[in-house]
Amino acid sequence: MDFRLTDEQQMIQDAAREFAQNEIAPVAAQFDASGEFPSRTIRMAGELGFMGIETPAEYGGAGLDSICSALVIYEISAADAAHGTIVSVNNSLYGISLLEFGNDMQKRDYLRPIAEGRLVGAYALTEPQSGSDAGSMRSRAVLSSDGTHYVINARKSWITSGPVARYLVLFAQTEDQAGNSLGISAFIVDAEMPGFHRGKVEPKLGIRASATCEIELTDYVCAVENRLGDEGQGFRIAMSVLDSGRIGIAAQALGIAQAAYDATLSYSRERQAFGTPIGSFQTIQGKIADMKTRIEASRLLVLKAAWDKMQCAGTGKRNTLNSSIAKLYASETAMFVTHQALQIHGGMGYSKELPLERYFRDAKITEIYEGTSEIQRIVIGRRETGLK
């Protein structure tokens, strides 16, 4: 069993780290304070191939593997989790949706500009009354009498990159089966078409530079050729794509945890108390040991999930179990590590003069979006027992 990265994977990780530390880390606090979308650095990420990591070169991407994707998201998130969110959604939720279920025309027209970083993509599944229960969505897409287009009326909430996205993968009921996941279909929608409206931008606790808003579609006309996959296939598409998205969020959580740990390790060596570095105290050493152990376990789970995704490619199998395990453990590790880091830093950790409080705020969302920790436990439990 070889745990070493390939030369290509190591090279991509090094490039992502250099970009993140040189271009993102210096402006992270500024964008966290303002809540402004970091357009310049996101365009730079696109130029480096980081907005379409797994997308083949023929569609504007870097043509790399799932492990490279996880490594890039990890390194970017260690500099700023908000940037990590944008990159993750672009690559996993939007990009994988089109890669796995789109046709050549859809990939050429709607994936290429996103993978190249010229435009931003988004994923519209959640509704105000249906978060974890996606099957109960109320959005409707009605096929026209001549069969050429759908008329969509929808209201979606908590849409990452919603305020800036040009194209979105959106899910709606296409059959009169409200509450039945079998009636859901997926569509590619253009935010510049009539009937598309952006709602209020959410004032979030963390990942503040990752713009999030509600969107509403009112009598939006969507050509049949912009349906993604077959009619009624939407719920399967959504759940399959979330498997990839959860690896991205696990990598993001790992990056947050690593940044908090690195800051804490350095602080424990420098901070003096009672005439000695606090890192020499057994209590502090115990916390550091627990932090390090959880981080390394999370790292292996994230890489295993990414590897498993690669093994499932083209087989029709899903990597649900390992992606859920990685997402559950890494997100709870991010919260554990940032909590311990804040405690070790004491009052300075609570101050905005250091990035620790930002890491703490950013970590929390990883336990919530793309499937809460509670949902991950249900998914894992059902997979293991075979019972519902």
| Radius of gyration in angstroms for the set of CA atoms belonging to the chain, rounded to a whole number | 21
CA dihedral sign, ordered 233, 237, 240, 243:
negative
Burial class (CB in 10 A: 0-12, 13-18, 19+), 77: buried
CA dihedral sign, ordered 23, 27, 32, 34:
negative
Instruction: For residue 367, indicate whether it is catalytic.
Output: no
C-alpha distances in Å from residue 44, one per residue of 22, 23, 41, 87, 281: 12, 9, 5, 12, 43
Task: Report the C-alpha gap between 232 and 106 in whole angstroms.
Answer: 18
Catalytic position from the list 75, 332, 370, 374: 370
CA dihedral sign, ordered 214, 31, 303, 335:
negative
CA dihedral of residues 129, 135, 138, 143 (deg, nearest 10): 160
The pair of three-digit structure tokens given for residue 309, joined into one six-digit string: 């995704």
Q: Which residues contact 126 (CB under 8 A, 6 or more apart)?
A: 134, 156, 157, 158, 159
CB–CB of 362/282 below 8 Å? Answer: no
The crossing angle, in degrees rounded to 10, of helices 356-365 and 234-270 is 160
Which residues are tagged catalytic? 370
